Amino acid sequence: MLEWPFFEDRHREFAAFAREHLPEADGDLDERCRGLVHALASDGWLQHAVGEPLDVRTLCLARETLARHDGLADFAFAMQGLGSGPISLFGSEDQRARYLPAVRSGDKIAAFALSEPDAGSDVAAMTTRASGGRLTGTKTWISNGGIADFYTVFAREDAGISAFVVEASEVEIAERIDVIAPHPLARLVFDDTPAEPLGPPGAGMKIALSTLDVFRSTVGAAALGFARRALDEALGRVTARELFGAPMAELPLVQAKLAEMALGIDASALLVYRAAWTKDVAGGRVTREAAMAKLHATETAQRVVDDAVQLFGGLGVTVGSVVERLYREVRALRIYEGASEVQQLIIGRAALTAHRDDARSPA
């Protein structure tokens, strides 16, 4: 893959570095997460997650490599990028100086707070209010909630939806949420909470969507990493396991499954790195390409992981096996940063717009 024209020598060098510097950390969930952030900082990964310009191909290579190794390491990397992304892209010089070096060095943990109990897919239904630099409302499903040092928060004010930075010391953690692939996640309550404006009033949707435009393809890259690990595990199993007196890998139906897995992975990689290359090289919005990358890679990874579980038989559903862990880890990717149905709508609308534009343009 690294020989594809999407990549430059610096990407090939980064991929080699990444394979040699896989982070490890121990402890309970929060300690592991903090430990992973520090390991990612001290090994130099985080300099690629933070700042301007963000190189989407490097972000994707990082997430693919980390997810293949450990989903929580990928999470820790991705959240430093997503949580600080609005500051990287729209922060004032002073905000960039106060937050970005600390996120890069792992001294500050970042979070991105957009979703609310009644405003997930329908972001415009947001009810958190901003007035006179203070926020009131509830955000939920916030990754890094409870361990973050600051939150980039979106709230409605007279000018429309605006973005803010809120220090963690001002935020009430109303609930920690347990999910099937554990990572820090919380519901946050703002009660006349002081907040610092980020970007112009009313620019919040543009800030959120521009940030997602960068990071959505990287969710596809993480899915790709999970799928590659599932295929690695499946190949190891089918070549070691004897079935009906011969290696399982010799059964035609097993080979057909492996073929579908490998094909899905390559197609996902092409879409992910096409979207990343387009953002890096052509610039501007890549909403359609990022939606295709996320939709295809996450849906495919779910199938590939499920196939790997099937090839492992009973061992595949044993708690603690790698494929069982992947089965839990891959699921949420089809829901967050825009559920698959939201990506389908984006792609469908883009196809209709292109069709209308073609019909209008002179032959």
Ligand X SMILES: Cc1cc2nc3c(=O)[nH]c(=O)nc-3n(C[C@H](O)[C@H](O)[C@H](O)COP(=O)(O)OP(=O)(O)OC[C@H]3O[C@@H](n4cnc5c(N)ncnc54)[C@H](O)[C@@H]3O)c2cc1C
Binding site for ligand X (CB under 6 A): 112-115, 120-121, 141-143, 179, 185, 332, 335-337, 339, 341-342, 345
- Contacts within 8 Å (CB) and 24+ apart, 249-254: 254/311
Nearer to ligand X by C-beta: 122 or 266?
122
CB of 119 to ligand X, least distance (A): 7
Task: Report the residue number, 127 or 255, with the smaller CB distance to ligand X.
Answer: 127
In whole angstroms, give the CA distance from residue 236 to residue 168. 45
User: Does the annotation count 299 as an active-site position?
Assistant: no
d(Cα 180, Cα 26) in Å, to the nearest integer?
A: 19
Out of 31, 157, 337, 341, pick the active-site residue. 337
| Closer by beta carbon to ligand X, 186 or else 304 | 186
Q: Are strands 160-167 and 150-157 parallel, antiparallel or unpaired?
A: antiparallel
In the complex, what is the shortest distance from the CB of residue 103 to ligand X, in angstroms, rounded to a whole number? 15
3-state secondary structure the chain: CCCCCCCCHHHHHHHHHHHHCCCCCCCCHHHHHHHHHHHHHHCCCHHHCCCCCCCHHHHHHHHHHHHHHCHHHHHHHHHHHHHHHHHHHHCCHHHHHHHHHHHHCCCCCEEEECCECCECCCHHHCCCEEECCEEEEEEEEEECCCCCCEEEEEEEECCEEEEEEEEHHHCEEEEECCCCCCCCEEEEEEEEEECEEECCCCCHHHHHHHHHHHHHHHHHHHHHHHHHHHHHHHHHHHHHCEECCEEHHHCHHHHHHHHHHHHHHHHHHHHHHHHHHHHHHHCCCCHHHHHHHHHHHHHHHHHHHHHHHHHHHHHHHCCCCHHHHHHHHCHHHHCCCCCHHHHHHHHHHHHHHHHHHHHHCCC
Q: Cβ closer to ligand X: 211 or 278?
A: 211
Least distance in Å: CB of 114 to ligand X?
A: 3
- Residue number of the CB closest to ligand X reads 120
Min dist. Cβ of residue 298 to ligand X (A):
12
- Closer to ligand X by CB, 18 or 189: give it: 189
Smallest separation (angstroms) from ligand X to the CB of 336: 4
- Cβ of residue 144: shortest distance to ligand X, in angstroms? 7
Cα distance between residue 40 and residue 69, in whole Å: 13
Comparing CB distances to ligand X, the nearer of 257 and 294 is 294
Q: Which is nearer to ligand X, 275 or 346 (CB)?
A: 346
Least distance between ligand X and beta carbon 346 (Å): 10
**Residues classed as catalytic:** 337
